[in-house]
Structure 1
Amino acid sequence: MPTKDSARRRRTLSERRQEIVTTAAELFDRHGYNNATMDDLAHAVGIAKPTLYHYFGSKEEILASIHEEFIDLLLGKHQRRRQAGLPPAQQLLEVMTDVLELMESHRGHVRVFFEHHRELPAAERDSIRDKRDAYEAQVAALIEQGTSAGTFRAVDPRIGALAVFGMCNWAYQWYRIGGSLEPRQIAYQFWDMFLRGIST
């Protein structure tokens, strides 16, 4: 009968790297990026520290992989919606839902992405910034599209996009899994307030 260790050895390089990235995101969420060591991560994954360096050359490289994975998830989700031709208001709701749902499925990624971009090596920081900027521009373009369609009133599209991010991105500080509201329910309330305000 195969043992846990033999199954672990059969994992492919990409599977092992994914396991390390996922575990690192959870570890950084619990203990903080600066407090967690490569020794801690090797122990959490269940491999020797020299083996860990076979997959990643440094903690900073792992940090970059977490950032890359998170922003690529957001970009991929939004790209599929654009291709599906959803109306601007619905796309905006889904944009807001994305981040809030990732607080459940990728909680560690969310914290790392928003709190530890300054620790990225210069080259990776520039690459991730380019993707962040591209995502921001896509959401701004969505708001502009809604304005052109007569769904939204005329506002500065970039300020509108930043307002959306400001509502959603900080929610990881207070959101708790298993609370009274599901991520989509929170997203709907944010979306409704954003579109209609809170005045009577």
Structure 2
Amino acid sequence: MVTISPNGHSLSFFFVESRLGHMKTPPPYPVSGRGPADHEVRDQIVAAATEHFSRYGYEKTTVSDLAKAVGYSKAYIYKFFASKQVIGEMICAACLQEIEAEVGAAIDGVDRPPEKLRRMFKAIVEASLRLFFQDRKLYEIAASAATERWQTALAYEGRIQKLLQGVLEEGRQSGDFERKTPLDETTMAIYLVIRQYLNPLLLQHNLDFAEEAPARLAGLVLRSLSP
């Protein structure tokens, strides 16, 4: 098992240990792989790949590089993963699950839908900034996922939209939010507002406003939702 070292790559190991290393059930994000999902060799390959990507970057790393790093042949790695992208998707999925978990925890137990929405915006921005930019090399994986529209990225967007829609439905039932606009239209419009802090390609262009964005965007959205 890979251990956390003080060399600046602790985030990458956190991904593996907290999500991939102990994954016994299929993740909520679709990732195609080969071999048993809980095989210890599979975990070792992902752990080694995460460390290697963190040091050298996703684009510059080949499956041959990973084979050398993990101590197995290239052919053996292909028994578990069809391509380097599949390994990247597993790491990306772990990152996205962490963000979704933080957003869910931020609104869990909050009674009023308007406050849920405020906390949702705040959690999305804070978690995205931390997980996407603490490790610039691993950021390349998230950027590739967004650029190439990997299934992990698409599934993540859909799950965030579903979470947002749930908050909006609660607000309509409580009388806090207007009901005239079709729910799907409202959900998508608000999602597009916050998407600039969810999508890594857009996020890097909005860092100057990240500190004030959650409160200002949530306030604007809440005023538009007034009944």
For normalisation by structure 1, the TM-score amounts to 0.62
Structure 2 equivalent of residue 7 of structure 1: none
CA contact (8 A) 1:66 1:112 kept: no
What letter is aligned with 1:115?
A: T
Structure that is richer in helix per residue? 1
Higher RCO, Cα 8 Å, sep 6+: 1
1:102 paired to 2:127: yes
Among 163, 177, 183, the residue aligned to 1:157: 183
Q: Against the structure 1 CA distance between its residues 47 and 153, is the aligned structure 2 distance closer, same or farther, given a 3 Å change threshold?
A: same
Aligned residue pairs, count: 169
What letter is aligned with 1:163?
A: A
Structure 2 equivalent of residue 79 of structure 1: 104
For normalisation by structure 2, the TM-score amounts to 0.56
Q: Against the structure 1 CA distance between its residues 51 and 157, is the aligned structure 2 distance closer, same or farther, given a 3 Å change threshold?
A: farther
Q: Against the structure 1 CA distance between its residues 64 and 189, is the aligned structure 2 distance closer, same or farther, given a 3 Å change threshold?
A: same
CA contact (8 A) 2:106 2:120 kept: no
Shift of 1:92: 1.3
Pairwise mapping of residues 107-186 of structure 1 onto structure 2 (< 5 A)?
107=132, 108=139, 110-118=142-150, 125=151, 129-130=154-155, 132-154=157-179, 155-170=181-196, 171-176=202-207, 179=208, 181=209, 183-186=210-213
Aligned Cα root-mean-square deviation (Å): 3.9
Shift of 1:50: 4.7
What letter is aligned with 1:64?
A: E
Q: Against the structure 1 CA distance between its residues 36 and 162, is the aligned structure 2 distance closer, same or farther, given a 3 Å change threshold?
A: farther
CA contact (8 A) 1:21 1:65 kept: no
Structure 2 equivalent of residue 36 of structure 1: 60
Structure-2 separation of matches of 1:22 and 1:140: 36
Stretches of 4+ moved more than 6 A in 1? none
Structure 2 residues not aligned, in runs of 5+: 6-12, 22-42, 133-138, 197-201
Q: Against the structure 1 CA distance between its residues 62 and 156, is the aligned structure 2 distance closer, same or farther, given a 3 Å change threshold?
A: same
CA contact (8 A) 1:89 1:151 kept: yes
Structure 1 residues not aligned, in runs of 5+: 5-10, 29-34, 119-124
Among 54, 69, 77, the residue aligned to 1:47: 69
Q: Over residues 136-155 of structure 1, what are the superposed CA-to-partner deviations in whole Å (9 max), with x where a residue is unaligned?
A: 22211211111221212223
Structure-2 separation of matches of 1:18 and 1:86: 39
Structure-2 separation of matches of 1:187 and 1:152: 19
